[in-house]
Chain A
Amino acid sequence: GNSVTQMEGPVTLSEEAFLTINCTYTATGYPSLFWYVQYPGEGLQLLLKATKADDKGSNKGFEATYRKETTSFHLEKGSVQVSDSAVYFCALSTNAGKSTFGDGTTLTVKP
């Protein structure tokens, strides 16, 4: 079956630090890959996506590149802000419809 493995947290960084959250996946077929974010007190929302190998998804300064050879979709941001503090979920979706999620990584950014 499909699975997603995320870097374990929590992650604590100072403002303006570089962020990487690792994500690797196992899937049959050719999945689309996603990062979702859950800010405190809010629901899950899409952060970025990539639908095929070598695609780069980007949004709000975050980036992730679909690497088929390493089955990875690592999330990066060059300079984090306090407002980026949230829980980040890596996910994949196949044409079968349902999405499979990782267990989430909690990021805390300190001023």
Chain B
Amino acid sequence: GAGVSQTPSNKVTEKGKYVELRCDPISGHTALYWYRQSLGQGPEFLIYFQGTGAADDSGLPNDRFFAVRPEGSVSTLKIQRTERGDSAVYLCASSMGGNSPLHFGNGTRLTVT
């Protein structure tokens, strides 16, 4: 079946603008995760959804970052007033929850100029 789909694959935006990144998880996966990956580093946890609710948002760096999953499937990561330091690859993953392995999308490369 289809894997985790992320759109867009690349996004270039100007400092101060608002961006939305979309993730379409594997059908039937109840858990959805957002990670951020900078060059030469491992994925850094941002937020985790179990169903529609954010079970853990402790990784969101500040209140400019927000994510939703209104129907328990597709999720959108929203970044307000983007800064150059937000430039990174944003990864989405889904799983069956608990300690199940993560299934990753190919990521969205965000560049803030």
A residues contacting B by CB (< 8 A) are 4, 6, 31-32, 34, 36, 42-46, 49, 51, 89, 91, 93-104
Residues in chain A near residue B104, CB distance under 8 A: 36, 43-45
Closest to A90 in B: B42
Cβ of B31 within 8 Å of any chain A Cβ, yes or no, is yes
Determine the chain B residues whose CB is within 8 A of the CB of A36 once the complex forms.
Answer: 102, 104
Contact across chains for A95 and B98 when beta carbons are under 8 A apart: yes
Residues of B within 8 A of A93 (CB): 99
Docked pose: A94 CA to B99 CA in angstroms: 6
Instruction: Evaluate contact between B101 and A34: CB separation under 8 angstroms.
Output: yes
A26 to chain B, nearest CB (A): 15
B107 sits at the interface (CB 8 A): yes
What are 29 of the A-B contact pairs (CB < 8 Å)?
A6-B42, A31-B99, A32-B99, A34-B101, A36-B104, A43-B3, A43-B4, A43-B107, A44-B91, A44-B93, A45-B104, A49-B101, A51-B99, A89-B42, A89-B43, A91-B42, A94-B99, A97-B31, A97-B98, A98-B45, A98-B48, A98-B56, A98-B59, A99-B43, A99-B45, A100-B45, A101-B42, A103-B41, A104-B40
How many of chain B's residues touch chain A, expressed as a range?
20 to 34
Q: A43-B104, A43-B105 are in contact. Are A95 and B40 (CB under 8 A)?
A: no
Alpha-carbon distance A104/B56, docked complex (angstroms) = 24
A101 B43 Cβ-Cβ under 8 A: yes
Q: Check A103/B105 contact, CB under 8 A, given A95-B99, A98-B48.
A: no
The 0/1 profile, CB within 8 Å of A marked 1, for residues 42-57 of chain B is 1111001010000110
In Å, the complex CA distance between A94 and B101 comes to: 11
With a 10 A CB-CB cut-off, give which of B33, B98, B102 has the most chain A CB atoms.
B102
